[in-house]
Every structure is written in C-alpha cells, then in structure tokens.
Structure 1
Amino acid sequence: MVLIILNIIFCLSFLVFAWFNVNDNDSWLWVPIYLAASVFCGIAGFGMFFPLTYLLLIGFYLIYAIILFFRKDGVKDWIFKYKQPSITESMQATKPYIEMTREFFGLLIISAALALNYFMSGGI
C-alpha cells in the first residue's frame, strides 16, 4: 500500500515538474525526462512493473547527472567555486550553476523513485 501511495505522489509530482519545464529553452529534453518518470511511476501504482526499462532510464539519468556535475558552472563548481549559495531563493535561475544544480538533483530524485520500483519489482 505504501508503494502505491509513493508512486501516485511521484507520478503527480513528476507531471507537475514536466509542466513547469514546458516554457524552458530546454523543454525538448526535460519534459520527456519528467513525463517518462511520471508514466512509469503511475503504471507502478497499478502494480505493473518494467524492471529493464527502469534500469535503462536510471542509466540515462545518472549519466546525464554526472555530466551536469562536472560541466563548467555545474554542481562541482556550485560546491567548490561558488561555495554552495542557495539554489531555492527564486524560481528564476539567474546563474548557470543554479539551473544545473537543480537539474542534477531532479535527476537523482527520478533515479531514486525508479530504483525503488526496480527493487520492489524483484529486478530482472
């Protein structure tokens, strides 16, 4: 029952995140990322699991997260160069590291949700 509730929450949250990204310059990337997570969490809420698909999506998301971590003005620079200023003060990402850091953590959250479903489904 807890897994069903978590998946419904993830499904709706990722759907809202996709909606927030519709007007972004990189909506062609982020809307599908969040929609895929929303769909697969929604389906898992009905007890249908796709372990291989979870692994493929998690792999893509984590590789992209690593890229965002090491990219110029990415998460690594946010931590060491800019000394971790708040990334939540405003919805506007006025500095490049804000956008990349938010995207990085979004990818980690999606990966965690899909990993939960992968392990709860019994894996491959």
Structure 2
Amino acid sequence: MIIRFLIALLFFVFAYVQLNDPDPWLWVLLYASTGAMWGVSVFYEIPKRVSQIGVVVILVGLLFLLPDFINWVKMGMPTITATMKAEAPHIELTREFLGLGICAFAWWRLGKKNSSLS
C-alpha cells in the first residue's frame, strides 16, 4: 500500500514539473491520470480492462514518437540531459518518448493481478 501511494505521488510530481513545458496540458493529464490510478489502487483493485485501455492509448503515442526515437538512436544517442531546456528537437521528442514508456509500464503494471506492490 505504501509503495502504491509513493508511485502515485511520484507521478503527481511528474505532472507538476510539466507545467513549465511548452505543451503542458497533455503531459500533465498523462502523468496526473497515471498518478490518480495508482492512488485509487491503494484502496481498490483497478479492473484489468481499465489498465489495458490506458496502455493502448499510450502505445499509440509511442508509435507516433517512435521514428524520432529511432532517429536519436541513429544519431549515436547524444545527451538529452545536458540542460533542462530542449535546444534541439530530438531532445524534447526523445524525452517525451521515454516519458510515455514510463507511463505505459506503470499502466501495464497496474493491471497485473496479485501485484506484489502492496
């Protein structure tokens, strides 16, 4: 239960720091909804169908960003963490791809039955 609460809190922090992003509302919604579902899971079991829908929606976003991620890999994976300001398009797009990946994993994990995260 404590781990689920901490995961929820972490995603709410992720949502908060997105407020200074050039396109904040999509990312705030993504991270906050992930945090909300983990928060709800502290008290109730999340139906597997709900988590599956979340994963599918996020996978669609990952597919849109996949070419940019592959391009970054082909570039030799230059740093995306040197500064917080995204000075080149590949920085922002790669960060968004990785953020979606984290959320997809969180939603997938949320739908696992008999989760060891109590």
Give TM-score, length-normalised by structure 2.
0.87
Give CA-to-partner distance per residue, 1:17-49, whole Å, 9 cap, x none: 111111222112111011110000111122431
Q: For structure 2, which runs of at least 5 residues remain unmatched after alignment?
A: none
1:30 corresponds to which of 27, 44, 61: 27
Q: Secondary structure at the match of 1:48?
A: coil
Determine if the alignment matches structure 1 residue 43 to structure 2 residue 67.
no
Determine if the alignment matches structure 1 residue 99 to structure 2 residue 96.
no
Q: For structure 1, which runs of at least 5 residues remain unmatched after alignment?
A: none
Number of residue pairs matched by the alignment: 115
Counterparts of 1:14-93 in structure 2, within 5 Å, are 14-70=11-67, 74-80=68-74, 82-93=75-86
Quote how far apart the aligned CAs of 1:12 are. 1.2
In 2: Cα distance, 1:97 partner to 1:121 partner: 39
Give TM-score, length-normalised by structure 1.
0.83
Could you tell me the percent identity over the aligned residues? 30
In 1: Cα distance, 2:88 partner to 2:77 partner: 12
Quote how far apart the aligned CAs of 1:121 are. 5.5
Question: Aligned residue for 1:109?
Answer: 102
Which is bigger in relative contact order (C-alpha 8 A, separation at least 6)?
A: 2
The one-letter amino acid of 1:75's match is: F
Quote how far apart the aligned CAs of 1:8 are. 2.0
Evaluate the alpha carbon distance shift between residue 55 and residue 121 of structure 1 in structure 2; reply closer, same or farther with a 3 A threshold: farther
In 2: Cα distance, 1:91 partner to 1:10 partner: 23
